[in-house]
Structure 1
Amino acid sequence: MRLAILMTNTDASTFAQHHPDDGQKFSSLVHRVRPDWEIEVYPVKDGIFPSTLEFDGLLITGSPASVHDGSPWISTLEELVRTAIDKKIPMFGACFGHQVIARALGAKVGYNPDGWVLGRIETTFEDSGLTVPLYAAHKEQVLSLPKGAKIVARTPGCEIAGFAINDHVLTTQYHPEMTNSFVKALLNAFADDIGKETTDEAAQTLIKDTDLDALAEWIALFFEQADT
């Protein structure tokens, strides 16, 4: 299996420089359960895109950028999303990735009326009814479904916490790649920007970590089943 990770995280802060980037985070996550998969990382936020879409799958990461920023790289990424859809290339999107796929396909993305969503969030998956914890760090979310999509996950305050299109697109508003220690460090680093009360409330949810192996298996199975 050969995957392309399209890295969209624009954070160039000192905090970000002291932690693995999102390409490394997602590569490490997938390699927990599929160590032999070939993964190539493209920092599309710097305008660096793959020259071909001859991959078994694409994975679009999260970002502090907004899909409404108007940056040229976002428009290019949206066009890539539409091309991938036309070619039925399996595509997974997380947070910003979830939002940019939705917007590229004509859906609405906007602010969560309750503001920032941070910390460990219980996510209910539609097909199984299972509730799975995932980490959140967003203030925008998908407000309407793209044509042909179905909701696959919901959380309190976020009706479209994940969606799928046939067996070739799967998204989540959340961050399967983040660890408990990283989220704690993130909240501490950005408490002044986000607000201490909000980050303190989020920190109280971090009693336990997420199940990284289970989340990695979820992503890997999506690509394997879509590729069959």
Structure 2
Amino acid sequence: MKLCILDNDSIDPALVPTYGNYATMMERVLRDAGATTWTMERFSTPLGEYPDSFADYDAVLLTGSKADSFSDEPWVVELRRRVTELLDTDTKLLGVCFGHQLIALCLGAKVGRAPQGWVTGRNTYAWHAKDLLPEGERDSFALLASHQDQVLELPAGTTLLASSERCPIAAYARGQEVLCIQPHPEFVEDYSAHLLNKRRTLLGDEHYTASIESLAQGHEGTDFARVMVAFVEGRAGATA
């Protein structure tokens, strides 16, 4: 399998030696989830980097970003144009956070500021698509989140996969072609803590403290990454 990772952000330079970039984080969790033989190639969309042809890849993954998916920034407009074209091909699409939102926009859904404000820390999401689980049965995933925007309506032609009280459309899929998730399977607790510390004043003491304390409960990012790997490899059921 060959995966194109469209990296839509850069992280704080001081953290690069530890975490690399968002593409590095995604590659790590996907390999931990079983994608040990995949070839993964990174392109920085804010820098205008794209492959010569998406047809050379089995799947394209869009990472998160601090940018708004509905932004008029030229690089975001160009990314939406390319994703809209990709949706008419056989190449599989994966989206995480910003990527989840941008793909929903390209599918005609409404995306905007979450009415309840920031969603951060460890959150539990009800899982509604047991046919997509590569192994065993479960009814929820505990994942790390960091977002103030979210998908506000389910895109036409897609199936709701996961939800929570604070994020009703937390994951969706379209057939065997598109799989998107709002929280971050690639995040680890220390990186989430860094983001929370950075936004402590913005979040307020009560929100910040609850989110920081939630990190001690652990998360199931690798488990969800197994769903992504199975989806790309065609080992998961169709979602209609």
Which residue identity does 1:38 align to in structure 2? T
Please list the CA deviations of residues 160-187 of structure 1 after superposition, one character each: whole Å capped at 9, or x if unmatched: 1111111110101110000112212221
**Residue 6 (1) aligns with residue 6 (2):** yes
Which residue identity does 2:208 align to in structure 1? T
Task: Classify 1:104/1:198 alpha carbon distance in 2 versus 1 (closer, same or farther; 3 Å).
Answer: same
**Residue 206 (1) aligns with residue 215 (2):** yes
Q: Distance in 1 between matches of 2:229 and 2:46?
A: 24
Q: 1:162 aligns with which of 136, 160, 171?
A: 171
Unaligned runs of 5+ in 2: 131-137
Q: How many residues align?
A: 227
Tell me how far 1:226 sits from its aligned partner.
Answer: 7.5
Q: What's 1:30 paired with?
A: 30
Mapping for residues 62-211 of structure 1, pairs under 5 Å: 62-128=64-130, 130-211=139-220
Tell me how far 1:98 sits from its aligned partner.
Answer: 0.3
Stretch moving more, 146-155 or 57-66: 146-155
Asked whether the equivalents of residues 70 and 102 of structure 2 are also in contact (C-alpha less than 8 Å), the reply is no
Task: Classify 1:26/1:184 alpha carbon distance in 2 versus 1 (closer, same or farther; 3 Å).
Answer: same
Task: Classify 1:15/1:133 alpha carbon distance in 2 versus 1 (closer, same or farther; 3 Å).
Answer: farther
Asked whether the equivalents of residues 97 and 184 of structure 2 are also in contact (C-alpha less than 8 Å), the reply is yes
Q: What's 2:40 paired with?
A: 39
Asked whether the equivalents of residues 15 and 189 of structure 1 are also in contact (C-alpha less than 8 Å), the reply is no
Tell me how far 1:140 sits from its aligned partner.
Answer: 0.6
Q: Distance in 2 between matches of 1:130 and 1:145?
A: 20
Describe the SS at the equivalent of 2:102: helix
The alignment-based identity, stated in percent, is 30
Asked whether the equivalents of residues 141 and 224 of structure 2 are also in contact (C-alpha less than 8 Å), the reply is no
Describe the SS at the equivalent of 2:170: strand
Which residue identity does 1:60 align to in structure 2? L
* TM-score, normalised with respect to structure 2: 0.88
Task: Classify 1:153/1:116 alpha carbon distance in 2 versus 1 (closer, same or farther; 3 Å).
Answer: same
Task: Classify 1:107/1:16 alpha carbon distance in 2 versus 1 (closer, same or farther; 3 Å).
Answer: farther
Q: How well do the aligned residues superpose, as a CA RMSD in angstroms?
A: 2.0
Asked whether the equivalents of residues 152 and 164 of structure 1 are also in contact (C-alpha less than 8 Å), the reply is yes
Q: Distance in 2 between matches of 1:226 and 1:46?
A: 34
Please list the CA deviations of residues 17-63 of structure 1 after superposition, one character each: whole Å capped at 9, or x if unmatched: 45321010001111112211100001112211112102000110011
Describe the SS at the equivalent of 2:52: coil
Unaligned runs of 5+ in 1: none
